[in-house]
Chain A
Amino acid sequence: DQQVKQNSPSLSVQEGRISILNCDYTNSMFDYFLWYKKYPAEGPTFLISISSIKDKNEDGRFTVFLNKSAKHLSLHIVPSQPGDSAVYFCAASGPNTGNQFYFGTGTSLTVIP
């Protein structure tokens, strides 16, 4: 049973515009959420995280928003750049997951120059 879901397999955005990637989760005990970026033939790279005590965390062009009541998080990239084209995975963990992270299926972002 998929505890973390990314319902959009792909997304295309014009360069300079905002990219919004979405993620939903089912386990209300999750308290730590992360986004990873993955280029082909490379491993995922940690991008940004948020703990459940916050609803927003910002790092440069990347902002993660957490809506605990909706069990939803999103990653905003502003402005989008062609180098942002990659697969983005969200992941979650909690005190009852025993060091384990649960990953979504990924969203492939294409930023069009």
Chain B
Amino acid sequence: DVKVTQSSRYLVKRTGEKVFLECVQDMDHENMFWYRQDPGLGLRLIYFSYDVKMKEKGDIPEGYSVSREKKERFSLILESASTNQTSMYLCASSLVERNSNQPQHFGDGTRLSIL
């Protein structure tokens, strides 16, 4: 079974702080993703990465950056946290296979509150 582990289940930070959310997957997946989930808005993609040191902006990258120094680890960084970044953050990974589609596998999420 694929295991995607997010470092914290709950996190409380203050406005203006730099916040790091960590995600590790154990299945050697090429693709990794960061989403946020808000009521009524579903899952919105912040950033994704298809290889080490590679990153692509998703639909809502403003105020965020990412780092992928190793294949198994994908970090989301809130450069200067603001209250509108209070949300549930979900990390996912997926395998790339040449001739077949593969689902994304999610971690349990980090509930982040910015005060």
Contacts and interface: CB of A to CB of B under 8 A. Distances in A.
Interface in B70-115: 90, 92, 94, 96, 101, 103-109, 111
B109 A101 contact: no
Contacts of A45: 106
A80 interface: no
Interface stretch (A14-22, A36-44, A56-64): A36-44
B104 to A, nearest CB: 6
A9 B92 CA distance: 24
Nearest to B90: A43
B108 A49 contact: no
Given A46-B104, A49-B103, A93-B101, A99 B109 contact: no
Interface of B: 4, 9, 31, 33, 35, 40-45, 48, 50, 56, 58, 90, 92, 94, 96, 101, 103-109, 111
User: What are the nearest 6 A-B pairs in CB distance?
Assistant: A43-B106, A105-B42, A32-B101, A103-B43, A46-B103, A43-B108
